[in-house]
Structure 1
């Protein structure tokens, strides 16, 4: 049947500029006109698509004009001037079948497009739902990890995958682990401080009580005994001052590390000079070195590395029996440089080796500490800040500290990145 209004309109939109809307020719017209006829007279073929506006038979039509003969001199100026024209064969027919075919093609294209759009929308919705579910799970895990009082009670779940949300969950879990470790440290800090402060405060309090008993208690005043009480009180006061000085030193060092300038220097030469200057003060031990002849260049602060050596050597002297060797070794391991301080004495417990570099952690066991230090040094409080300061210096240099047991004692080491030889000087 004839095309519907919508099919005719669709055909008209698809044909666009190629579609001509012509009125029906007069019943007794002597000649017809059109661009297809002009093209045929010029020797070409140009089909003409038309939308008939005939009320009796509306629809689309196509007309083609074909030249039957080509006059002599066609296309020349003479032919154009004389007006010679070749006869034409004009064929015109309905285009309803073409219109229906185009309509079916458009419908199929529309159906396929809608199907593809629906499939794409379904995939995007599934991805968005999965993404939202992972985010909600991470949110619930983060909320449950922290109690109402701010304490970390659990670690957030680590989501599987290699996308950004999985990386975010891993970062949050690592952050919560560090925060929980810090909270545990703060929780034990008060106990550690009270343990360190209890002894000197007890010494001062008991000495003052004894002096007060002699003065106000009616006892016979003994100057020698009073002097002994005063010495004990003064000794406790000195220990308190050392504790506060050590804590202040650690706090100042953390601030000073930020602005400390770095330069490239020979680590082996620094250790060699350090041992030469330190040996006279360590007469009770043998301070030896194992350093390669070639320069071992690192980038850092020589003053801070010397301070780190002070902490490691002091720790070694605390545990090394008198007359034993304390060895300072410098070596290369791949693209790293390793500085080690090894001493004889009680071995380190591997289960607590990592805790030795935390603040307020001291490993002083009865009967296992070396006796090579002077009595004044032996009376100093041990807050466990020496190795903590060494760890801060190592981290400022991009290195790491480690502690391990040997067959005869203990070994503490620093590992740094090696700099290029010949780059001496400040940076």
Structure 2
């Protein structure tokens, strides 16, 4: 008993059964409506013809009397068989005066109006269905007019058979439609499930196959693939960051341990111990900066801070940050110039200012004396861009994609002041705002462009 029930627990079976049931019910309702309306139309047509003839004969009686009525009935009975018509005029005592019936039907009450009954046809021995109407004339005579409904009954049978065949065809079509529907839906779901299983087994490069149909399933698959790309990128960054932390923090921790050991050495003079303590504090400060930057990157990657988005005047924000760094630039013989304007955007003021500060610090580190650092703001169709260009040595093209990765720096003389997290934080802030960080060579120098989506805060 459990095995048959398990079939109905299958979503594919349930969907197919629901599709078949709904389609069958709808088709049955439509066919039933057609059948009822067809029968009603035929019955109404028969009744109209009989009623019209009965009214016409009654009018003949009023105008021409009994002789005129008998003449009219005899004229009609000539081709009555061809029209499946019946006529009967009797006296008050039941004697036949005219018509093609031998006697008044016992089942018909004279003057009772519309009736349906069965009569034996005079030219055959068959008993056939009849639809008729009767009236009493002014002097008590009885008049009956009707039609044999044999052909109508035959049509009714043919119509009923056609409705049955149509219903069977509908069920068959529903089966086919349900099968095709479940095949379409569940084949796409199978693609998603198979891809998810492969990803869960450890292959993060797997993606849901696209079929080029441009339907809702295709758009959902494309969206899921974009999500998987982002997840793979985040996991890759996490792995790289974890490895980098293990590698890059080993040196400052080792130096810190050495400084602490020297502090406890009895051979050190007070001046040497003071220097060791100062250098140990420097190592601690460096580690704190690294962990602070890692925390900021993690928060930005996790989307924290969107609740603090507000309308920003990007041009004014650039001007404020530039004023803060101008004294540092002047000390190095470097000028900072801003150009362009941008419409108001929604974003996190502190984080955007931090991103611009990181770009300026990076430019000031490599820009030669007497050069200029340019800050550029521009409006795009669906984004606003903020760029910083210096006149430094630039970066080899093969290394451009590495610069925004955590703990990556191309400076072989990197000190404890540069852990390679500045551009990684800028890239994370850009992604938080629905944009990206783009790096390129300006020949001379490096240009870093930060984009913000206009819809990022909506």
Interval containing the TM-score (normalised by the shorter chain): 0.5 to 0.7
The 5 A counterparts of 1:12-411 are: 29-30=94-95, 32=104, 38=111, 49-52=116-119, 58-63=127-132, 83-84=138-139, 95-147=149-201, 151-160=202-211, 161-209=213-261, 215=266, 229-250=276-297, 257-265=305-313, 267-282=314-329, 283-292=331-340, 296-300=342-346, 301-334=348-381, 336-358=383-405, 360-366=406-412, 379-411=415-447
**Mapped partners of 1:330, 1:170: distance in 2:** 32
- Relative to structure 1, is the Cα distance of residues 236 and 108 closer, same or farther in structure 2, using a 3 angstrom cutoff? closer
Partners of 1:152 and 1:176 within 8 A in 2: no
**Mapped partners of 1:174, 1:162: distance in 2:** 16
Q: Residues 292-311 of structure 1: CA distance to partner in whole angstroms, max 9, x if unpaired?
A: 4xx63322454443322211
Q: Which residue of 2 aligns with 1:4?
A: none
Q: Report the TM-score when normalising by structure 1.
A: 0.67
Q: Report the TM-score when normalising by structure 2.
A: 0.63
- Relative to structure 1, is the Cα distance of residues 36 and 99 closer, same or farther in structure 2, using a 3 angstrom cutoff? farther
Give SS of 2:390's match: strand
Q: Residues 15-61 of structure 1: CA distance to partner in whole angstroms, max 9, x if unpaired?
A: 899899xxxxx9x944748989759xxxxxx985423599x964423
In the alignment of these two chains, the number of paired residues is 361
Unaligned runs of 5+ residues in structure 1 are: 1-9, 21-25, 40-45, 68-79, 368-377, 420-426
Give SS of 1:413's match: strand
Higher helix share goes to which structure?
2
RMSD in angstroms over aligned alpha carbons? 4.5
Partners of 2:384 and 2:451 within 8 A in 1: yes
Q: Residues 348-395 of structure 1: CA distance to partner in whole angstroms, max 9, x if unpaired?
A: 34455455344x24223226xxxxxxxxxx744433332233334434
- Relative to structure 1, is the Cα distance of residues 193 and 130 closer, same or farther in structure 2, using a 3 angstrom cutoff? same
**Mapped partners of 1:307, 1:109: distance in 2:** 76
**Mapped partners of 1:395, 1:133: distance in 2:** 34
- Relative to structure 1, is the Cα distance of residues 37 and 364 closer, same or farther in structure 2, using a 3 angstrom cutoff? same
Q: Which residue of 1 aligns with 2:57?
A: none
1:284 deviation in Å? 0.6
- Relative to structure 1, is the Cα distance of residues 104 and 261 closer, same or farther in structure 2, using a 3 angstrom cutoff? closer
1:122 deviation in Å? 1.9
